[in-house]
Amino acid sequence: MTDPIRVAVTGAAGNIGYALIFRIANGDLFGPDQPVILQLLEIPPAMDALEGVAMELEDCAFPLLTQTVLTDEPDVAFASANWALLVGARPRAAGMERKDLLSANGPIFVSQGRAINDNVADDARIVVVGNPANTNCLIAMRNAPDVPAERFTAMTRLDHNRAQSQLAQKTGRPLHAVTNVTIWGNHSATQYPDAFHAQIDGQPAPAVVGDDSWIKETFIPTVQKRGAEVIAARGASSAASAANACINHVQSWHAGAAEGDWVSMGVPSTGEYHSPTGVIFSYPVTIRDGVYRIVQGLELNDFDREKIAATGAELLAERAAIADSLP
């Protein structure tokens, strides 16, 4: 029998957690032959709710779920974890930007970064979902100096999926016809959802859309502000679509992105495409054998460069605001 993969999930009793862990237990991350162990972390007041979730996991009788660990201790949750999905954090309310959560959520990623450093498996890969995801990821990464920096990623896959979906709807083409979409920068309202380098049925997306003003004035702000729009409509932030994007992020990183296509991931920046260094910046990446590579050689025009500069400046400001949390 194949050894189980250990998946730590923080905030497992929350809304995203509830939409996520049943899919992991069902085999959605690693396929129908790969057993998993779930290591679920919550804060003490949510442990009763977590016990209830664990009862439901048992009642699903998932054949691939070999063990479920419930804990309020990060050292236990991350012990020998092969994957750490850092979801547990406060969501924003209507009228807030995600960066307004930094003072409430940043400290979580200091202590969890340290626990990751001391406990995870040698091959561990980390995905930060809790907002503001890029800067929380930076905090966790810098507090885990013994884990290679490239193992830390922030989730911008929800924005990527939103962009793909908007383009498919606009052009009346199926989703799989829309490829090479990119989210540049921060998971925030300054992100740059890039349709100009995307393709539809293998053709440049702008030519198929045939309306650059729609791309600039409707598509970009729709994707940038979609999270707030969901909060206004639902009275709670996106949960099922966020869990789905987290599944997609791990699937891509584990099994690779489709040939010729790429996906968006927030990864440690080293200055590509005039992005600032030393932040977690979302780029187009290809993935092979579990290793992502930033797509090279895309030509940027003034519009692209201006958008990338704006989102980069916001990430630098977020980093400055939490400088005390970065050893």
Catalytic (active-site) positions:
187
Window contacting ligand NAD (CB under 6 A); options: 37-45, 115-123, 140-148, 289-297: 37-45
Among 24, 46, 116, 158, binds ligand LMR (CB under 6 A): 158
CA distance 7 to 166: 32
Among 8, 21, 30, 42, binds ligand NAD (CB under 6 A): 42
Window contacting ligand LMR (CB under 6 A); options: 13-21, 44-52, 58-66, 91-99: 91-99
Q: Given the complex with ligand LMR, which of 12 and 64 has the nearer CB atom?
A: 12
For position 43 contacting ligand NAD by CB under 6 A, the verdict is yes
How far CA 26 is from CA of 9, 34, 255, in Å, comes to 15, 10, 17
Q: Which does 37 bind (CB under 5 to 8 A by kind): ligand LMR, ligand NAD, none?
A: none
Map tokens 């100096």 to a residue: 145
For position 230 contacting ligand LMR by CB under 6 A, the verdict is yes
Q: Which does 230 bind (CB under 5 to 8 A by kind): ligand NAD, ligand LMR, none?
A: ligand LMR
Q: How far is the CB of 319 from ligand NAD (least distance, A)?
A: 17
CA distance 324 to 138: 12
For position 102 contacting ligand NAD by CB under 6 A, the verdict is no
Task: Report CA 202 to chain centroid distance, whole Å.
Answer: 26
Cβ–Cβ under 8 Å, residues 267 and 182 = no
Q: Which does 193 bind (CB under 5 to 8 A by kind): ligand NAD, ligand LMR, none?
A: none
At 84, which helix (H) or strand (E)? strand 83-86
Q: Given the complex with ligand LMR, which of 98 and 142 has the nearer CB atom?
A: 98
CA distance 319 to 76: 29
Computed from CA positions of residues 278, 281, 283, 287, in that sequence, does the dihedral angle turn out positive or negative? positive
CA distance 322 to 143: 13
Q: Is the preceding peptide bond at 132 cis, omega within 30 degrees of 0? A: yes
At 270, which helix (H) or strand (E)? strand 263-270
How far CA 296 is from CA of 102, 215, 293, 300, in Å, comes to 32, 23, 8, 11
For position 190 contacting ligand NAD by CB under 6 A, the verdict is no
CB-closest chain residue to ligand LMR: 227
Q: How far is the CB of 65 from ligand NAD (least distance, A)?
A: 20
User: Under the rule (CB under 6 A), what is the footprint of ligand NAD?
Assistant: 10-11, 13-17, 41-43, 46, 87-92, 108, 129-131, 133, 155, 158, 187, 237-239, 242
User: Under the rule (CB under 6 A), what is the footprint of ligand LMR?
Assistant: 91-92, 98, 131, 158, 227-228, 230-231, 237-238, 242
